[in-house]
Structure 1
């Protein structure tokens, strides 16, 4: 006797297979680096991953949501909380990692996502909710620790402070003006933290 026959209730939908999800994310990441966001299609993701288009659309609303998920999976391992005991040092380490990421192949993918978000509200939402918030959470933690230790100014708006920390690297990525190496990251962190120090 089936579950439906025994209970009179339909079986809940099958949870998505982690193996299939990983294959879709991996395929999307490869395509983003090979041909870019705009050229990539859901059909190509399906072909490369072995998942059907219907399955992909069941899990993600569009190719942009898959792209953000794929991009986020690349970033996760690159954005741990340093927690060195010094807010200045934590921000410097975090900015170095961000600059390395922006300077590599993933930087071009992120720039494409940001560019697409200017024209498509869905992409903007996916990018903000799926990526930006999680990245900012680490910086918020670093900031709060620094304020609690008396290193950083408690009278400064935290969101504005974090914008000031992230802003220069993002500007350099989007305009191609200025370096994104360790020296650049150190200079950005030093300049911003000097103004935010208690």
Structure 2
């Protein structure tokens, strides 16, 4: 059996898209933060991080083009980054807005969140705790299966997602124990 860190805790920051959504989530006992409340930390999509990585290693004299444009995975979006003096937390690819119909499937999103947390919990080997940003959008609230999302959030609030220890908290309280990724100028 492969040994894993028994004290690993996946930190979770719940970001509500708007103050209205935040107030509605509070009525269910789910504490969230808005992007404005986590300032000066910025909340980015993983696509924005890909653009930063794309410029990493570019050298016109040596004809180096930098990192290929490809998505940043679960482990990469579970770090806090310093980019040009700004502190950045990225939400995972599963929250990227898409016109593809599966993007709007709440049951699939819930399953993807669980899979994401299990993957990070199983394969995290860096110093500092992984910090996963879960983005809750207003359109999620209007979904007929939104109660299942609330059930997932209630389970996370209890400290576990299946066999993975989790801790939901305010970003300001979790950032000191987070893994800080690469520094970009």
- After TM superposition, the score normalised by the length of structure 2 is 0.30
Q: Counting strand residues as a fraction of each chain, which structure ranks higher?
A: 2
Which structure has more RCO (C-alpha within 8 Å, separation ≥ 6)?
2
Determine which structure has more spread, i.e. the larger CA radius of gyration: 1
Q: Counting helix residues as a fraction of each chain, which structure ranks higher?
A: 1
